Structure 1
Amino acid sequence: RETLFLSINIIDRYLSRRPICRDRLQLVGVAATLIAAKFEEIHPPEVSDLIYVTACTYSRQDILDMEMAMLGVLNFQVAVPTPAHFLSHYQAACKTSMASDFSLEARPGAAARNPFAGSSWHERDGELAWYILELSILDIRMLRFAPSHLAASALLLSNAISGHAPVWPADLARASGHPEAALRACVGELRGLLTEAPSGDLQAVQNHYRHAGGQLVGDRAAG
């Protein structure tokens, strides 16, 4: 996921500085993926894998040449904060907040010490936040939000859909630097993307987050 968002950032920055022919856009994409994967992953894909993905449209040398050209234009500035980096950090903080060694029934005072006591974090909660965040990739309007703001809004919306209360406790506001009120506009737009996604033309994100049996991670939002 970090590789995906870093790839997009690299593509955006490169295209903002260099015009490119339409028939070379796929080459830019695979080269950006290679750069991002080398930075983010222990085992990045081989160039041969990328050649296969492009149906042999480009040669090994084409991809390596574009990789070097892009790094040169970007002055080798690969390390940038993306929404994915922030969401991973916020989710870790959220899990810590929600973890409790005792239930509300056993320890009535727990709620005062831990606002998420009695709630439980499930993997599906994390998947929902990532699904929402990846939907934002498809809408250019979301570029006006800072990466940290976008990630915080995706997590807040996920918490709301999952029924956690409060949806944005003080410790998450401190960890993110974004109070709940400041996130409302972005959350509203993300909710709109979530609602419109099933009928949209671009279904790659939908298909990626569809579980065996056809159930979509975001189906709870429609309930």
Structure 2
Amino acid sequence: MGRKRMEEQWWRGQLAADIHQTLRTKELKLPMYKAHSPQIGMRRYLIDLLTVLSNHCCLCPTARHLAVYLLDLFMDRYDVTVKQLHIISFACLVLASKFEEKEDKVPKLEHLNNLAYMCNVNVVLNRKDLLRIEMLLLENFNWNLCLPTPAHYVDYYLYMSIGENDLHGGWPVTSLTKTKDFLQKYVYYFLDFSVQDHTFLHFRPSLIAAASVCASRICLQISPAWTAQLELLTCYSWEHLAQCIEMMLM
């Protein structure tokens, strides 16, 4: 999905609805997150670290969100040391990049070590240890990294996020393109906000993506906040989204 995303805007194509349905089917089989990690207090720091690393490596949102999700699932299952958590975080980022990005975008070992030094992370990676952790992660996830995250849905939902009948502050939208550009900034803000709090993991990824669009429409005073067209596209009603939206806007 990731490489295809980089090469083709799938959400504009004839197979968009089929791809969306495939993602929705896959998310029903995602592992249950239990928030059992003894190191859950470190989660916010590790998420911030992954965000900094992915930004410096210019990785796409799907790679960043997949890296976070891999780390969450691994931490939920195992009790590991702080040093190991740092190495595992780097390995999650590399694996997610290999799955979602083109080969030349995958972070190189030297670059990762430079970033670790810059971020005051007391870890020096070597190729053997990094590969060993990558293999451990792959075995832990049964070699399946096709794990939908909110970022995998958002472009599909954004494509139809503004319509000609929408109102802005009670008036017709003067520029659909500009409004959608503003909306996109808000949507990605809410997506990034959602990964900061592990309680969002109790929602389905597609619901978080849909709620991000709705919360953004509310912030921009687009009415109605949720349209029949968006409900049909996402298969979520306002009632489905309300709790998640409230958490985003509180």
The residue identity in structure 1 corresponding to 2:216 is S
RMSD: 1.7
2:155 pairs with 1:74: no
Choose from 107, 123, 129 the match for 1:45. Answer: 107
| Partner deviation per Cα, 1:41-94 (whole Å, 9 max, x = no partner) | 112222222122222622222212211111111111101110111212211222
TM alignment of 1:1-223, pairs within 5 A: 1-42=61-102, 43-55=105-117, 57-94=124-161, 97-98=162-163, 114-116=164-166, 118-119=172-173, 120=176, 121-192=179-250
Letter aligned with residue 173 of structure 1 = E
SS class of match (1:143)? helix
In structure 2, how many angstroms separate the alpha carbons of the residues matched to 1:183 and 1:78? 27
Secondary structure of 1:39's match?
A: helix
Unaligned runs of 5+ in 1: 99-113, 193-223
CA displacement 1:131-186 (0-9 Å, x = unmatched): 01211111122222111111111110101111222221111111111011221111
Tell whether the 8 Å contact from 1:5 to 1:84 is kept in structure 2 after alignment: yes
**CA 1:57/1:27 → structure 2, altered by over 3 Å: closer, same or farther?**
same
1:8 counterpart letter in structure 2: V
Deviation for aligned residue 1:19: 2.7
Measure the CA separation in 1 of the matches of 2:180 and 2:214: 15
Residue equivalent to 1:204: none
Contact map agreement 1:48 1:60 (CA 8 A) in 2: no
- Determine which structure has greater relative contact order: mean sequence separation of CA pairs < 8 Å that are 6+ residues apart, divided by chain length: 2
CA distance in 1, matches of 2:140, 2:114: 26
Structure showing greater Rg: 1
Q: Is the 8 A contact 2:191 2:212 kept in 1?
A: yes
The CA distance in 1 between the partners of 2:129 and 2:141, in whole Å, is 18
Contact 1:17 1:73 in 2 (8 A): no
> How many equivalent pairs are there?
175
